[in-house]
Every structure is written in C-alpha cells, then in structure tokens.
C-alpha cells in the first residue's frame, strides 16, 4: 500500500481564525486543501464563494482540491480556475454532459474530478474513467460535515479500483466523509489514494499530528 494523499477539509476549520488554521496546514505534511462549494440547490447548504477561495489562495501554496456540490457546474469552471483551484471535481448527478465538462476542466489546465453520491453506481464511470484524474467517492451524503461513515464505501472503492485497472486508467480514488484514524487504513487497503478529513483533523487537539498519523496509516 502506498501512503495516501491527505486533504484536510476547510469546511471544518475555524472561520473566526482561518489564517491560523492555514498556518497550521502549511506547516503540516498535507498535500491538498479540500474546499467544498455548495449552492443550496444541489445540497441543502451554502459555502465558499469566489472571494473567499481567492482569499484562501493567498494563504497557501498547497494544491487546492475544489469539490463542487452545485448545479450547472460548467458555467463556473473558468472562474474557479481564476480564483486558484488546481483540481476541480463535479458531481456526476449534476452533469448532463459529463465528457464535455471534463474536457472543459482540462482545457483550463486543472485536473478533472468526478464526485459520486452514496447511491450512485460505479458503472456510470465506465465510459469516462480514462478522462478522469480523480473520483471523489462520497462516504456520507453530501451537504454537511460530521456525518457517520457509510460502511458500503469499502466495497465501492474496491469496485472502482478494479475498473481503473481494467481500463488501464491513471485515476486516483478520493474518499470524502467520515474519514477517521480508525477507518483510514482499511480505505487505503481497498484502493483509496486521497483521504479527505474534516472533523478528524480540525476537532483534534493536535491537527498536525493527526495529519501525520493519517499520512502514515499504512
């Protein structure tokens, strides 16, 4: 097993002192910073507009892993590039023309990701997997932090890993939701490459140490 990429989710950060949390993240061995964008339509919550992402971009040089939980994501691809996104993931459930969306993301120089909800089948990715840089498997229902991990995720990761190998794709597997020090090893063993961690990191007494433990979980 390879060491996973760790992507702390700033949805769980302290917004009254965001700069301090970014100083911590910059000092940590986390490679990505995961940013959830919600529109109140695709999911029943709202978060992170363009000005805030642009402000956060000035606080860190780490990879900005932006996860769009919004309808009509194609309208905003260039804007997310402009404010500093490095990876941009769209939900398959919100993308009518997924292949075209992936092409558009790639045309800006960003890596293209596809997020899938707990009820969505891996089979829907068969025809596009070779065009996808990362698949973000939702291991909770999207929209809110702090939810309970869905146990079926392990099987889903293994099935996706099989598809990636069968298609000879280079796609990475990202897990978003309920990732803890207790389930991280099993997720990596199943095939996960990137672990998104919100409450596990930011609610701990020593976030830098927790990031280090997640990174070295294997």
Closest by CA to 114, choosing from 149, 84, 62, 69, is 69
48 in Cβ contact with 76 (< 8 Å) = no
Assess whether 176 carries a catalytic annotation. Answer: yes
Distance CA 129, CA 111 (A): 13
As beta bridge partners, residue 202 has none
Cβ-count burial of 207 within 10 angstroms (0-12 exposed, 13-18 middle, 19+ buried)?
A: buried
Q: Count the residues in the chain.
A: 218
Cβ-count burial of 141 within 10 angstroms (0-12 exposed, 13-18 middle, 19+ buried)?
A: middle
Distance CA 5, CA 182 (A): 17
Q: Which of 21, 39, 65, 176 is catalytic?
A: 176
Q: Which of 21, 36, 39, 131 is catalytic?
A: 36
Backbone conformation region of residue 64, classed left if phi is above 0, alpha if psi is from -120 to 50, else beta: beta
- The dihedral built from the CA positions of residue 111, 45, 203 and 190, taken in this order, carries a sign that is negative
* Token pair in block for residue 114: 């596809």
Assess whether 21 carries a catalytic annotation. Answer: no
Annotated catalytic sites, by residue? 36, 176
């Amino acid at each position: 097993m390879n060491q996973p990429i760790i992507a702390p989710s700033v949805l769980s950060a302290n917004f009254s002192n965001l700069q301090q949390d970014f100083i911590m993240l910059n000092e940590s061995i986390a490679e990505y910073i995961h940013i959830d964008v919600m529109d109140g339509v695709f999911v029943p919550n709202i978060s992170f507009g363009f000005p805030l992402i642009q402000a956060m971009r000035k606080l860190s040089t780490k990879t900005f892993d932006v996860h769009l939980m919004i309808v009509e994501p194609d309208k905003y691809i260039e804007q997310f590039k402009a404010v500093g996104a490095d990876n941009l993931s769209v939900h398959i459930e919100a993308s009518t023309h997924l292949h075209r969306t992936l092409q558009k993301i790639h045309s800006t120089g960003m890596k293209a990701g596809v997020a899938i909800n707990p009820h969505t089948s891996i089979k829907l990715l068969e025809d596009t997997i070779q065009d996808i840089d990362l698949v973000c498997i939702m291991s909770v229902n999207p929209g809110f932090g702090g939810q309970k991990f869905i146990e079926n995720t392990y099987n889903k990761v293994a099935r996706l890993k099989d598809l990636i190998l069968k298609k000879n794709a280079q796609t990475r597997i990202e897990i978003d939701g309920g990732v803890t020090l207790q389930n991280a090893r099993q997720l990596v063993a199943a095939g996960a490459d990137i672990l998104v961690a919100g409450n596990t990191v930011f609610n701990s007494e020593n976030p830098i140490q927790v990031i280090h433990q997640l990174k070295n979980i294997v």
